[in-house]
């Protein structure tokens, strides 16, 4: 499942990078929780939680429906 999640992230990474940010996959747990680290401009952005849930999580769940949620790690 980790490979599928990484491929999903590759699809949305250009949008984050266009705004000076990025995302790094940290872990995918056995129960379907994806852990990511927001990087660069995304790390301090006040809209980061919206980007995480409405952008990153939505895109990952579309490609990998077995994912339950996406969480940020610091």
Q: Which structural domain range is residue 11 located in?
A: 2-72
Per-residue pLDDT of the chain (74 residues; tens, 9 = 90+): 999 999 999 999 999 999 899 999 999 999 999 999 999 998 888 888 899 999 999 999 999 999 999 999 98
The pLDDT, as a whole number, for residue 44 is 83
Domain count, the chain: 1
Distance CA 48, CA 12 (A): 14
Task: Report the chain's terminal Cα–Cα distance, integer Å.
Answer: 22
CATH number at residue 67: 3.30.300.130
Give the whole-angstrom CA distance, residue 70 versus residue 63. 13
Cβ-contact 36, 70 below 8 angstroms: yes
Q: Are 28 and 4 in contact (CB under 8 A)?
A: no
Q: What angle do CA 12, 17, 22 make, to 5 degrees?
A: 75
Residue whose entry in the numeric block shows the structure tokens 């980007």: 51
Task: Give residue 74's pLDDT.
Answer: 85
pLDDT at 45: 85
């Amino acid at each position: 499942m980790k490979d599928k999640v990484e491929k999903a992230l590759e699809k949305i990474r250009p949008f984050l990078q266009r705004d000076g940010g990025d995302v790094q996959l940290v872990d995918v747990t056995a129960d379907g929780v994806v852990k990511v680290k927001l990087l660069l401009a995304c790390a301090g952005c006040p809209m980061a939680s919206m980007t995480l849930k409405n952008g990153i999580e939505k895109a990952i769940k579309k490609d990998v429906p077995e994912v339950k949620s996406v969480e940020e790690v610091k």
